[in-house]
Amino acid sequence: MSEKSYYITTPIYYVNDKPHLGHAYTTIAADVLARFKRLQGHDVFFLTGTDEHGVKVSQSAKAARLSPQEFTDQQSAIFRMAWDILDISNNDFIRTTEPRHEEAAKKFLLELFDKNLIYKDKYEGLYCVGCESYKTDSELVDGKCPDHNIEPILLSEDNWFFKLSRFNDQLKKLIEKDELLVRPVARKNEMLGLLKQGLEDIAISRQKVDWGIPLPFDKSQTAYVWIEALMNYVTGVGFQDDKKRFQQIWPADVHLMAKDIVKFHALIWPAMLLGVGLPLPRQVFAHGFFTVDGKKMSKTLGNVIDPVEISEKYGVDGLKYLIIREISFGEDGDISLGRFDERYNADLANGLGNLVSRVLAIAGQREFETDYSQSKDFEQQVKLTWAGYEQAMTDLKFNDALDSVWKLISSCDKYIEVKKPWELSGDGLIPVLTNVLEAIRQIGWLIQPFMPLTAEEILSQLKVYDTEKIKPLKDIQAWGGLTGKLALSKGEALFIRL
Ligand code: MSP
């Protein structure tokens, strides 16, 4: 069998609302990773989708005067369209209302039931509809859920429970030893802290929620939305009906999300997998939360940013660059549209865009044969850039990877300032032009995972995109790829100054 696919997931987003910049952030980051891994030659499978059951969604459907199915069809399509517009390269899009998911989720639940990991008991406690999750008193602030600023409801039902507590010690060992990699380390420690307190069994069904998947062993109850949603990671890759495909893709190499839902992914989901005897994901990575101008994005504050809307201002690639560059991946951050504007002009219009256009303007004035006789320092610098970049990408430090590319861009600018190619001609000019053009080719590939459209444009202006896109990364990285006689011309500006 061929090498196992590299499998990347995002959370499946609730359809009660439209996609906002927070959803886009995770999805863009996953896309960056997917594209980088493809560049490295991996067979990538990148899955995203929508989470469509539960109280919150059915309430929103009611408010929209639609049936839950009509409402989720409409909302899920909006997510799908947003990712299309943002040029996200997901290989599939899963909806939890699809038959493939419902069937597979039932199979998974039945396996847990058959393994005697599910039992019936009375549940009494608090439930936050915003989080779609149960709350303990200690998680509340002034009696309210701090994330949603609403009071949880008191639930008292007969529910089915999953024996989560039984996996406590096993999970602790796996996470401690990094056999289940939870990153960044702060999140690993947070999970170990929860395991130290001890996990309790959790309710996995709801008695009074119709909008859900009926339990295969008790049709009077539906599966608790979180339990069923987590299963999308296996139901989307053939768990129920395609063993060969499933083995080719599962386990996930990275489950990506924000820190709000890491407990579900690093504790509950692995316990469920251990329960049915499936391999665990290799890494659970939770990035931080960002605020907008220091405030949480919220409808009440009216500061929710629509990613599609702002991609019209900065371009799809511009938006991807800005959001990834502004926040240190893995940590909390803050964004402001004012800073986006400044950075767009400085880094994209004046930085990358200007470099490409001024060099191609000079190169376009003549046909010439490349000359690498004076490129030792340059070659070394590009090599070092790739080394730092690849390490950063492997560690999911996406903003650091971009930092290293922009250092290379400013070195090229400095080199041009020192060499003054506009004052040179003939033998003096060609080696200088060759160096910067080759550096630009490499920059084109370095930015490709982040800004695929811009990369294609740059590499097309250099007339190498079509031939190089099929080459292995090590060939692309080899210095001197731009070779032979060059007849180039200045193309359209990559970024228009705001
Ligand atoms: N449906 C569940 C996930 C189930 S996965 C099996 C859910 N959906 S959600 O629509 O609320 O999405 C939460 C995710 O959206 C976060 O984990 C994160 O990926 C993203 N973000 C939402 N707001 C964000 C910020 N302000 N900052 C960073 N990420 C944000 O939870």
Residue 455 Cβ contacting ligand 1 at under 6 Å = no
Using pLDDT thresholds of 50, 70 and 90, give the confidence band for residue 483: very high
User: Please, are residues 24 and 82 in contact by the beta-carbon 8 Å criterion?
Assistant: yes
Closest CA to 186 of 376, 331, 290: 331
Span 111-141, pLDDT tens digits = 999 999 999 999 888 999 888 888 888 889 9
**87 Cβ neighbours under 8 A, 6+ residues apart:** 316, 452, 453
d(CA 308, ligand 1 centre) in Å: 17
Q: Average pLDDT in the 154-181 region?
A: 96
377 has pLDDT over 90: no
CA distances from 296 to 133, 257, 326, 436 (A): 20, 17, 16, 43
* Spatial separation of the C-alpha atoms in residues 313 and 295, rounded to whole Å: 22
Q: What is the mean pLDDT of the chain?
A: 96
Between helix 398-419 and helix 376-394 the angle, nearest 10°, is 170
Whole-number pLDDT of residue 92: 98
Nearest CA to ligand 1 atom 22: 22
- Given CATH 1.10.730.10, say whether it is the number of domain 336-486: yes
Using pLDDT thresholds of 50, 70 and 90, give the confidence band for residue 426: confident
Closest CA to 45 of 244, 229, 241, 251: 251
Nearest CA to ligand 1 atom 6: 230
CA 265 to ligand 1: nearest atom:
6
What pTM was estimated for this model as a whole? 0.96
DSSP code at position 245: H
Residue 493 burial (CB count, 10 A): 12
Nearest CA to ligand 1 atom 25: 22
Using pLDDT thresholds of 50, 70 and 90, give the confidence band for residue 301: confident
Tell me, rounded to whole angstroms, the distance of Cα 100 from its chain centroid.
24
56 has pLDDT over 70: yes
Residue 12 Cβ contacting ligand 1 at under 6 Å = yes
Across the strands, what pairs with 48? Answer: 93
Positions marked catalytic: 20, 23, 128, 131, 145, 148, 296, 299
Q: For Cα atoms 89, 93, 95, give the angle at the middle one, nearest 5 degrees.
A: 160
**334 Cβ neighbours under 8 A, 6+ residues apart:** 290, 291, 292, 293, 294
* Spatial separation of the C-alpha atoms in residues 276 and 282, rounded to whole Å: 17
**165 Cβ neighbours under 8 A, 6+ residues apart:** 198, 199, 200, 201
* Spatial separation of the C-alpha atoms in residues 495 and 350, rounded to whole Å: 9
d(CA 321, ligand 1 centre) in Å: 20
Span 458-477, pLDDT tens digits = 999 999 999 999 999 999 99
d(CA 347, ligand 1 centre) in Å: 29
Whole-number pLDDT of residue 210: 93
d(CA 260, ligand 1 centre) in Å: 7
* Spatial separation of the C-alpha atoms in residues 428 and 479, rounded to whole Å: 20
User: Please, are residues 288 and 61 in contact by the beta-carbon 8 Å criterion?
Assistant: no
Span 247-274, pLDDT tens digits = 999 999 999 999 999 999 999 999 999 9
* Spatial separation of the C-alpha atoms in residues 101 and 98, rounded to whole Å: 5
- Give the mutation target among 10, 12, 17, 26 for probing the ligand 1 site: most ligand atoms within 8 A of CB: 26
Whole-number pLDDT of residue 1: 53
* Spatial separation of the C-alpha atoms in residues 233 and 46, rounded to whole Å: 10
**Region label for 10, one of left (φ > 0), alpha (ψ between -120 and 50) or beta (otherwise):** beta
Residue 23 Cβ contacting ligand 1 at under 6 Å = yes
Residue 233 Cβ contacting ligand 1 at under 6 Å = no
Q: Please count the CA atoms within 13 angstroms of the CA of 228 that sit on its side-chain side.
A: 34
What counts of helices (H) and strands (E) characterise the chain? 21, 17
- Give the mutation target among 18, 33, 50, 51 for probing the ligand 1 site: most ligand atoms within 8 A of CB: 51
Could you state, in order of their start, the residue ranges of all structural domains in the chain?
Answer: 336-486
* Spatial separation of the C-alpha atoms in residues 88 and 319, rounded to whole Å: 12
Span 195-242, pLDDT tens digits = 999 999 999 999 989 999 999 999 999 999 999 999 999 999 999 889
* Spatial separation of the C-alpha atoms in residues 363 and 154, rounded to whole Å: 71
Residue 289 Cβ contacting ligand 1 at under 6 Å = yes
Residue 22 Cβ contacting ligand 1 at under 6 Å = yes
Sheet holding 181-183, edge to edge: 92-95, 44-51, 6-14, 254-258, 283-287, 181-183
d(CA 132, ligand 1 centre) in Å: 12
CA 296 to ligand 1: nearest atom:
26
Note if the bond before 216 is cis, omega within 30 degrees: no
Closest CA to 162 of 125, 126, 203: 203
Residue 255 Cβ contacting ligand 1 at under 6 Å = no
